[in-house]
């Protein structure tokens, strides 16, 4: 359940889940949820009788991989990033729940550049960073590996998520990731490539600066941990097998 700011929208949305949503879900043989957090929310608040499984989103682990030095250089050039300043990457819709403004405030006055892939009503927040921010409003999906190759750290201080595809892509690319303490990310607590932060500028700044200042051995260890986590959980073949099994079960 993602809050849209109170008023009438939130209770109307919740009401829709509990009426029309419940009817739709009850007619399914099995409901597949992208994360345990989303699954628990629906089963505890909408319908405890649902037959459900968790099937996480998946990515092509061959396309999203640890970038070589040459790939990193080419990616930065192709995205218009000059100089050797560290790059923090944000990927997603520029909407309030993603907390882009907080991330911008955390990076203001610092040495790092912010690369933003996405667009939305919060784009004006980037003005605070001036030329320290590079926005690519739309990047074809077949070029998304370039965005991850160009970055040193991936930051997604959002709330009310399921399991964002951008975060999975970042992990598969071996990026150290900063996420919020929102329950959405609780299942990632065991990944050394993930750092949790409070959603305020000072806390985010401290976490990101700490990651950017790590020595090479620690960076490589975290990158390997991120990639290993993705390999064990988010490969396409496992995703296909699980959904095919659900389809076969529903067809019998």
Please check whether residue 121 lies inside any domain of the structure: yes
How far, in Å, CA of 91 to CA of 73, rounded?
20
Are 45 and 76 contained in the same domain?
no
Residue 81 and residue 41 share a domain = no
Provide the total of helices (H) and of strands (E) in the chain, helices listed first: 10, 8
User: How many domains does the structure of the chain reveal?
Assistant: 2
| Residue 175 domain flag | yes
Are 100 and 123 found together in one domain?
yes
Task: Specify whether 28 is located in the same domain as 142.
Answer: no
Residue 250 is assigned to a structural domain of this protein: no
Q: What is the pLDDT of residue 4?
A: 64
What order of strands is seen across the sheet that includes strand 87-91? 133-136, 113-117, 87-91, 153-156, 176-180, 194-197
Q: Is residue 90 part of a domain?
A: yes
* Residue 95: predicted pLDDT: 92
> Is 204 found in the same domain as 88?
yes
- Is residue 226 in a domain? yes
pLDDT of residue 5: 60
Spatial separation of the C-alpha atoms in residues 116 and 138, rounded to whole Å: 10
Residues 30 and 148 in one domain: no
Asked whether residue 216 is assigned to any structural domain, the reply reads yes
Rounded Cα–Cα distance for residues 98 and 4 (Å): 12
Note whether 81 and 149 are same-domain residues.
yes
Q: What residue ranges of the chain have pLDDT lower than 50?
A: none
Residues 155, 45 within the same domain: no
The answer to whether residues 192 and 82 belong to one domain is yes
- State residue 6's pLDDT score: 62
Statement to judge: residues 157 and 210 lie in one domain: yes
pTM of the model: 0.91
Do residues 156 and 193 share a domain? Answer: yes
CATH code, domain with 221: 3.40.50.2000
Range of the domain at 173: 69-233
């Amino acid at each position: 359940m993602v809050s849209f700011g109170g008023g009438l929208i939130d209770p109307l949305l919740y009401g829709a889940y509990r009426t029309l949503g419940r009817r739709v879900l009850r007619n399914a043989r099995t409901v597949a949820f992208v994360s345990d957090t989303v699954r628990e929310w629906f089963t505890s608040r909408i319908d405890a009788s649902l037959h459900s499984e968790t099937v996480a989103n998946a990515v092509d682990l061959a396309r999203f991989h640890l970038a070589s030095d040459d790939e990193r250089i080419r990616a930065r050039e192709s995205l218009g990033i000059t100089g050797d300043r560290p790059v923090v990457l944000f990927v997603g819709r520029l909407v309030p729940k993603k907390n882009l403004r907080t991330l911008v405030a955390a990076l203001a006055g610092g040495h790092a550049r912010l690369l933003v892939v996405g667009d939305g009503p919060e784009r004006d927040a980037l003005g605070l960073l001036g030329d320290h921010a590079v926005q690519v409003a739309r990047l074809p999906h077949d070029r998304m590996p370039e965005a991850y190759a160009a970055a040193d750290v991936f930051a997604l201080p959002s709330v009310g998520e399921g399991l964002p595809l951008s975060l999975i892509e970042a992990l598969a690319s071996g990026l150290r990731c900063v996420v919020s303490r929102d329950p959405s990310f609780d299942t990632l607590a065991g990944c050394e490539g993930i750092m949790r932060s409070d959603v305020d500028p000072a806390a985010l700044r401290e976490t990101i600066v700490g990651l950017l200042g790590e020595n090479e051995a620690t960076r490589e260890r975290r990158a390997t941990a991120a990639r290993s986590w993705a390999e064990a959980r988010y490969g396409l073949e496992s995703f296909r097998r699980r959904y095919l099994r659900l389809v076969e079960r529903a067809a019998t």
